[in-house]
Amino acid sequence: MTLRISTAGLHAQGLQSLLMRQQQVARTQQQLVTGNKLESAADDPSGMAQAQRLDHALATLEQHGKSAGLLEHRLRSQEQALSDVGSHLTRARELAIQANSPVLSDPDRKAIADELRSIRSEIISIANREDGAGRRLFAGARDGVIPFADDNGNVTYAGDDGRNLVEVAPDLTVADTDAGSDVFMRVRTGDGIARGIAGAANTGTGVLQASAITDHAAWAGRSLQVQFTAPDAYQVVDAAGTVLASGAYTANSTISAGVVQVTLTGAPAAGDTFTVERAPVRDVFATLENLADTLDTPATSPAERARRSNALGAALGDIETAQDHMLSVRAGTGTRLASLDNAADVRGADDLTFSETLSQLRDVDYAEAASQLTLQLTALEAAQKTMLRVQSLSLFDKM
C-alpha cells in the first residue's frame, strides 16, 4: 500500500505543528511574566477549581479580620466607658460617705447633692457614647437611636436587649457590646442578693448598719421583716404576717432570728420596721437621683436624721453593688477581647496554610519554567526549519 501526502497536506501539518510550538512558548512566557501558572481553567481544571476555593477562603478570612477589627474597637470603647463609669461611681460613693457625717450643714449636703446630679448627667452621657462610626455603644442591636433620655429625673431606655454576634474566624462568633438595659437599667441593689431597708414611717432613731441572710436555702428569697412591738422587743414576720421569731432587743446589738441577721444602732420605737428582701434591680441613675433627693431634704429631728442615715446607708450599699456590676461587665468585655486575640491567631494560621497551598497550585517555579522555555524554543526552531525544508520540496527538483 502506498501512502500519498499532498503538498497542501504537508504544508498544513507543518503549520499546525509550528502554531502549537508557538502557543506553548507564548504560554510559558506569560507564566514567567505573571508568575501564575493557572492562567485559564484549561491549564489545570482541578487545580483551578481548588485555587478558586482557596481564593474564596482567603477573602472570607480577610472579611473576618475587618469585622474583628471593628468589633475590637467597639469593645475597647465599651471597656473605656465602663472604666469612666466606675470612676464616677467611686466619687459618688465618697460623697455618700462624706454626706453621712453629722458635722455637715444642710447647705453642705445640698452642694454634695448638686455634684451627685452632675455625676449622674456624666454617666448618662457615657451611656449614650458613640463608637466613632456613628453607632451607639449601648443601644443593643438597634442603630440610629439615642439609647438613654432623661425626663425630669426619670431615665428611659430606647435601645433593645439584643447583642449582635460577629463572625471573626471560621465557625467562631463573638458578641458585640452589651445592651444598655443590662449595663445601666437592671442593676442589683443591696449586696446583690439581699437588701435591708428601714421603714419609711419609722419614728425612732434606729439606724440599720448591716443586714444579712445566714441560710440562703432556707430563706428562698422571702421578704422578712423585723417589727418592733416595743422599744426593747421585736418579732420577725414573713410577707404573710406569720411570726417566725421574737425576742428582746438590746440597744446597739445584732438581731439573729432564723435566717435573717440585722445589726442596728440607736433606739427603735414601737412600730418601727426593718425589712430584708431579695435585692431588687434598679437603674443606676435612679440610685444617684434618690441619693441626691435625700440630701436635699432637711432633717431637723432625731427621727428625721435617722431616716436620712438609713437612706444614705442603703444608697451606699447600692452604689457599691453597682460598682461590682460594672466590674463584672468589664470582665465580660475582657473575655471577649481575649477571644478576638485567639481568633486572630486562628486566622493567621489558616491564612498561612491557605496561602502556601495556593502558592503550590498557582505560583510558577521560575527555574523549571525557564528550562521548559528553552526546550520549547528549541522545538520551535526545529519546527521552523522543518517547515522551511518542506516548503522547498518540489517535483521539479527530481527532473
Q: Is the pLDDT of residue 391 over 80?
A: no
Task: Band the pLDDT of 19: cuts 50, 70, 90.
Answer: low
Query: What integer pLDDT is reported at residue 72 of this predicted model?
Result: 95
Once rounded to an integer, what is the mean pLDDT over residues 352-359? 79
Grid cell locating 274: 426593718
Q: Using the CB atoms, write b or e for 309-326: b if 16+ within 10 Å.
A: bbbbbbbbbbbbbbbbbb
* Annotated domain spans of the chain: 38-192+280-362, 193-278
CA atoms in the 13 A half-sphere facing the CB of 267: 3
Q: Is the pLDDT of residue 191 over 60?
A: yes
- Please tell me the distance from the alpha carbon of residue 235 to that of residue 228, in angstroms, as a whole number: 7
pLDDT tens, 296-315? 998 889 999 999 999 999 99
pLDDT tens, 305-343? 999 999 999 999 999 999 999 999 999 999 999 999 999
Q: Is the pLDDT of residue 31 over 70?
A: no
pTM for the complete prediction? 0.80
Inter-CA distances, 308 with 102, 163, 373, 382, Å: 11, 40, 95, 109
Domain 38-192+280-362 has CATH 1.20.1330.10: yes
E strands in 71-206: 148-151, 154-157, 165-169, 172-175, 187-188, 194-198
Inter-CA distances, 191 with 207, 219, 225, 311, 332, Å: 18, 15, 17, 15, 20
